[in-house]
Amino acid sequence: MGAMRGRHGIRAGVAGALLCSVALLLSGCGVLSTKDDRRYAEKLADEHYPGLLRVIGARTLFPQSEGSEISFAVKDDPDAVVRLRVDAGKGICNSHPCRGVLDEAVTRGRAEAERMRLMIRTFKTCGYEVIAYEPTSGAPWIVGSLTNATVRATLADVGSCVRTWRQAEARTDAAAGARGAAVNLASPSVAAKRPAGKSSDPTAVRLTDTRLLAALQSHPYYALGYAAPEGRLDTTGQARIVRPFEVQEKFGANVRKSVRERLRAGHPRVQMSTYQGVWRLEPGTVDRLTGYVLYCEEPDGDLTCLGDMAVEVTTDVRGTPVGDLRPVGSVREGRGPLRLPAR
pLDDT at 201 over 80: yes
The whole-angstrom separation of Cα 275 and Cα 65 is 38
**In the structure, what pLDDT confidence band is assigned to residue 313 with cuts at 50, 70 and 90?**
very high
Residue 178: CB atoms within 10 Å? 14
Q: H/E element holding 116?
A: helix 98-125
* More confident of the two residues 113 and 23: 113
Structure confidence at residue 214 (pLDDT): 97
Structure confidence at residue 177 (pLDDT): 59
Structure confidence at residue 63 (pLDDT): 62
The whole-angstrom separation of Cα 240 and Cα 280 is 6
The whole-angstrom separation of Cα 119 and Cα 125 is 10
% of residues, the chain, pLDDT over 90 = 78
The whole-angstrom separation of Cα 248 and Cα 311 is 19
**In the structure, what pLDDT confidence band is assigned to residue 182 with cuts at 50, 70 and 90?**
very high
331 in Cβ contact with 339 (< 8 Å)? yes
What's the average model confidence in pLDDT over 290-302?
A: 91
What's the average model confidence in pLDDT over 188-214?
A: 95
- Share the mean pLDDT of the chain: 89
Q: Is the bond leading into 63 cis (omega within 30 degrees of zero)?
A: yes
The whole-angstrom separation of Cα 86 and Cα 178 is 35
